[in-house]
Chains A and B, each alone.
Chain A
Amino acid sequence: MEGLSFEAVPGEIFGLIGPNGAGKTTTIRMIMNIIVPDSGIIRFNGAPLSEADKDHIGYLPEERGLYRKAKLGEVLEYLAAIKGAKANEYRLSINAWLERFGLSEWKNRKISDLSKGMAQKAQFIATVAHNPSVVLFDEPFSGLDPMAQDDLLSVMVELKHKGAIVLFSTHIMEHAEKICEKILLMNKGKAIVYGSMADIKAQYGRNAVQLEFDGDASFVQSLDFVDSVVSYPRWIEVELKEGTDSDLLFKALAGRLKVRRFETVAPSLHKIFIHLVGGEEIENG
């Protein structure tokens, strides 16, 4: 990790984005003071982060689990209690969350009896039961089915509206693109881009085209006005060289592909990342 600097403000969903091994988890662990940085400082409300400040943070680690032999309600209350929350407050909050996720009947059952999906929900509850003003989710969407992803997303938006800072990490750029207002794109422990999503998109121009088609689009890569391509069998995103009109591409395609959709767009985060990292191999989720 080197030269990393960023800031998240209340009411903001902040994305920490990068491929596996970029240093996202390490960054979050440093925020939680689980790992101590060699140098640098983490500030909370303007002052260096203290042990006590961690009580205001909810943390969902990437490697997550709950004591399997204990009862769900007891574990949730215990985890809220060690965050310094008041018993009467966290009990109400836990009951409300259990109700919302349909886990009320499971409160007195052992964690080991819960299905995987239920356990994931229980872990979200454990993260937010003490009403934190900051929540850190490390790869929150990994391993979730689409329904659970929607649930989580709605929780994140709700927390944002309540004025919390929602910071999450992901290696799936598409997720970040849809959710985040501000991002830090990182690779190999270094920041690549940092700023609001709107600014970043504007900065990297509107000179990309997304194509849906039938046929073989491999020739697009070799067109002289094309800068780079992200390609899938039936879908490609083409980054055009500066000053190139997208019409030129459209004409070049005529007769060679059956085009189903042709759309000029801001480049995807994925595209920006590849552009900035210089086409290095990255994982595609």
Chain B
Amino acid sequence: MGKLKHIIRHEFRLTTANKAFVILTIIGPFLIFAITVLPTLLAQSSSPVASDKPLALFGAPPRVEQAISAAFSGMKLQVEHVEDIEAAKASVIDGSRVALLELEAGWPDTGKAIWYSKSSAEIGLYSTASAVLEAVAREERIRESGIDPALAAKLLSKPTFEVIKLEKGGEEKAQGQGDQAFLETLMTVLVFIMLLYMTILLYGQMIGRSVVTEKTSKTVEIMLSSVTSRDLMIGKILGLGLAGMLQYAVWISMAFVLNHFLGPLFGLALPVAVSMQNMMWLFVFFILGFFLYSSAYAALGAASEDEQHLGQIAWPLLMFLIIPMVMLNTLVTSPDSTAVVIMSFFPLTSPIVMLSRILVASPPVWHLVLCIGILVASIVGMMVFAGKVFRVGILMTGKRPKLKEVLRWVKVK
């Protein structure tokens, strides 16, 4: 046990000293924050339009002018009444006014509203103007038709629409409103399974490379003169696994800090799906996926001649990681379809697929139990298999073994 501890510590130190590890650890949470908060930021960014230059208004009746001025003053944009349309156009071109809004005679029924500007980039500005004009026009028409404005307001008010995700145990969770809720969920699922995919792949490959390095650097015999091949393999897996857990611990605590301190400070909330509970699921499936893939990669590393060869023989394993990523759309839109459910039980795809099911739907408890049970059993089986391949393969140098040979190693007593 004492020796295993040394191997774990050595591998842990080698991994955490790696630049890629440090960068990913630091960037990870910002990635989550950036991508999940992005939709919220985008939604907010359309309202505040500020310009130190005034907006020219031509041909608007006083009441309309008043309404437009009021709407834009909330955005710190000054509205100027102009009499000479040509001069106003010239002032827009020379940049002293931000734009010109012309209301033709007879607006809103027979005339048009025309927006003149140097570029068509101020989408915030003219969409606001258009919304204001629409509201003003509606009020004008209501007034002209003699309907009581209070009644009209009641008739036209937008009904509230809320999205609530039902949890087990009757818990209800507000998911925000409408489209944004879906977008947030999609983004969260995307980020979570990307992280899971990246970390499982990264750590799996690190194990594979670490094993191949023993062969290529010719240290393996020195190692085996001191420790058993079993201890060497388990030490590598646990050493890197600890590094991975450290990374996740950093991410989860950073997410916690962002959510509880920085978020409120900047008036931004993380999407509801980025909850501590879901972070824990991410962690659980990382551990399970990590052990399964890393033991598979340990066997591949022992069976390969060098890093290049490892890359070549690892692709069938990689396929199983990539399939769920390709089916992302299905995972999010039909989390309870037969294909997705089956994939959430198959051990090589289940960590990613089950995590996405948990994020978008509420899979039955027995699905979770079965999924984790199959994963744990597969990990045990894979470890035994990898241990046997590792024991023989690690000493084979200078030739590329065939699959048949590798399978024969497994039978070696």
Contact = CB atoms under 8 A, between A and B. Distances in A.
Interface of A: 29, 32, 34-35, 51, 54-55, 57, 59, 61, 63-70, 74, 78-79, 81-84, 126
Given A59-B222, A81-B6, A126-B222, A68 B217 contact: yes
Interface string B220-235: 0111111110000000
Contacts of B13: 74
Given A78-B6, A78-B10, A81-B6, A64 B221 contact: yes
B223 A82 contact: yes
B91 interface: no
Contact of B226 (A35, A69, A74, A82): A82
B224 A34 contact: yes
A164 B217 CA distance: 29
Given A61-B222, A64-B222, A51 B217 contact: no
Contacts of A81: 6
B10 A84 contact: no
Contacts of B10: 78
Report whether over half of chain B's contact residues are helix, strand or loop; otherwise say mixed: helix
B298 interface: no
Contacts of B3: 82, 84
Given A34-B395, A78-B10, A82-B7, A63 B226 contact: no
A55 B221 contact: no
A69 to B, nearest CB: 8
B397 interface: yes
23 contacts: A32-B221, A32-B225, A35-B395, A55-B226, A57-B225, A59-B221, A59-B225, A61-B221, A61-B222, A63-B397, A64-B221, A65-B218, A66-B217, A66-B222, A68-B217, A78-B10, A79-B222, A79-B226, A81-B6, A82-B3, A82-B6, A84-B2, A126-B222
Given A63-B397, A67-B213, A82 B221 contact: no
Interface in B1-55: 2-3, 6-7, 10, 13-14
A27 to B, nearest CB: 14
A133 to B, nearest CB: 14
A63 B2 contact: no
A129 B168 CA distance: 60
A54 B225 CA distance: 7
B221 A63 contact: yes
A69 B228 CA distance: 23
Interface string B162-179: 000000000000000000
B227 A82 contact: yes
Nearest to B210: A67
A81 B7 CA distance: 9
Contacts of A57: 225
A3 to B, nearest CB: 23
Given A65-B219, A78-B6, 11 more contacts: A34-B395, A54-B226, A59-B225, A61-B222, A61-B225, A65-B217, A67-B217, A82-B223, A82-B226, A82-B227, A126-B222
Contacts of A126: 222
Contacts of A32: 221, 224-225
A67 B14 CA distance: 10
Top 8 nearest A-B pairs (CB, nearest first) are A65-B218, A61-B221, A59-B225, A65-B217, A82-B226, A81-B6, A32-B225, A63-B218
Interface of B: 2-3, 6-7, 10, 13-14, 213, 217-219, 221-228, 395, 397
A54 B7 CA distance: 17
A126 B219 CA distance: 11
Nearest to A58: B225
A167 B380 CA distance: 41
B76 to A, nearest CB: 58
B56 to A, nearest CB: 67
Nearest to B395: A34
Contacts of A55: 226
B282 to A, nearest CB: 31
A57 B226 CA distance: 9
Contacts of B222: 59, 61, 64, 66, 79, 126
Nearest to B13: A74
Nearest to A79: B222
Nearest to A51: B228
A78 B219 CA distance: 12
Contacts of A29: 221
A70 B223 CA distance: 15
Contacts of B217: 65-68
A118 to B, nearest CB: 16
A77 to B, nearest CB: 9
Contacts of B395: 34-35
B235 to A, nearest CB: 9
A51, A63, A126: residue with the most chain B Cβ atoms closer than 10 Å: A63
A58 to B, nearest CB: 8
A64 to B, nearest CB: 6
Contacts of A79: 222, 226
A66 to B, nearest CB: 6
A215 B228 CA distance: 59
Nearest to B226: A82
Nearest to B2: A84
Contacts of B7: 82
Contacts of A78: 6, 10
Contacts of A83: 226
Nearest to B4: A82
A170 to B, nearest CB: 18
Contacts of B14: 67, 69-70
Nearest to B3: A82
Contacts of B227: 82
A84 B226 CA distance: 9
Nearest to B218: A65
A209 B151 CA distance: 130
A76 B72 CA distance: 73
Nearest to B398: A63
A34 B219 contact: no
A126 to B, nearest CB: 7
B2, B218, B223, B225: residue with the most chain A Cβ atoms closer than 10 Å: B225
A144 B221 CA distance: 20
A126 B226 CA distance: 12
B226 A34 contact: no
Nearest to B412: A36
